[in-house]
Amino acid sequence: MHNLPFIKMHGCGNDYVFVDGFETDLPRHPAKLAIKVANRNFGVGSDGLILLVPVADDTADVEMRMFNADGSEGDMCGNGVRCVALWMARQRRISELCRVRTKSRLVTATVSPLSADSNSGTVSVDMGAPVIESADGTTECLTDISLPGQSESPPQIEFTRVSMGNPHAVIFNQELSDRNVKLLGAAIERHSTFPNGTNVEWVNIVSPTELQVRVWERGSGETLACGSGACAVGVAAVLRGVCRRGEPIGISLPGGRLEICWKPEGHVLLTGPATVSFVGTWHGGVA
């Protein structure tokens, strides 16, 4: 496949190259393709690759496969789900509700009414119930983080472990500095405590209804936003008594603002923008 049509979309700057399997043959080597298209100097430039896969039965409207910038396949991507739902609505395949099957779970997205050929919209996703994986339900502690050229004692990092269909380590009471996010984030992602790696969120408490967050994504590094990460942060904040369950929580990220609500019945609702940046054709091979 030498010419591969694609769509570039993003949710709060968390950007992906999308291939629509309803309209074109899907690539045979998506992991290799993800590495190439994600390159911001020699590719399209993105946080990864997402495939829209037609579903043969009636259990979902579309299957979403997500590949990180390093070629690893992700379990879940909240921003990706919002973009997929927006595109499905824009192509008139769904009206308002879009059932998206991901690697880890089936989620339902609600797309706000779109004008004809709209390139952006607000999408809410029922992300399902979180899995609280920290031993005592709130915090764990890392004391043996190894950093390059480290001469001082390893930092002690308290975190809350939450799964939204993918793993997250949520950290409060630490600076949202480049050192923490990039250096420590990379070390925590690969720490032996997380056999399959983890996403890492650094949180600054602005108020009981507003949190400031930076994200280190497993397989992609720092990104401008992370939808599942925003959900994990909101859940962790409720567990720690910072925020209240059942009330909207604003999550401010470098790329924009998301809103989450951990419903009393258990599910987490994620709301935010999705935007089509452009469409194009990939001529770079490995399809």
In this prediction, residue 208 carries a pLDDT of: 96
Give residue-wise pLDDT tens across range 13-67. Answer: 999 999 999 999 999 999 999 999 999 999 999 999 999 999 999 999 999 999 9
* Domains recognised in the chain with CATH numbers: 4-128+273-282 (3.10.310.10), 131-266 (3.10.310.10)
Which tokens in the block code for residue 143?
């004391």
204: annotated binding-site residue?
no
226 part of the active site: yes
With beta carbons less than 8 A apart as the criterion, state whether 230 and 251 touch: yes
261 is catalytic: no
Can you tell me the distance from the alpha carbon of 42 to that of 286, in angstroms, rounded to the nearest whole number?
14
Range from 88-102, 147-161, 208-222 carrying the lowest mean pLDDT: 147-161
Task: Reply yes or no on whether the pLDDT at 148 is more than 90.
Answer: no
Chain position carrying tokens 């629509």:
20
Contact 144, 154 (CB under 8 A): yes
What is the pLDDT, as a whole number, of residue 21? 98
pLDDT mean over 97-112: 96
Residue 147 identity:
L
| Residue 199 counted as an annotated binding residue | yes
Of the chain, the percentage scoring pLDDT greater than 90 comes to 80
Q: Tell me the C-alpha distance between 185 and 174, whole Å.
A: 12
Tokens of 144: 């043996």
DSSP 3-state of 109: strand
- Is 217 among the annotated ligand-binding positions? yes
The active-site residue, picked from 12, 77, 83, 261, is 77
DSSP string, 34-61: HHHHH-TTTSS--SEEEEEE--SSSS-S
pLDDT band of 136, cuts 50, 70, 90: low
Mean pLDDT, to the nearest integer, of 142-156? 68
Which residues are bridge partners to 180 per DSSP? Answer: none
**For the residues 60-75, what does the mean pLDDT come to?**
97
| Residue 218, marked binder | yes
Residue in 83, 98, 226, 243 annotated catalytic: 226
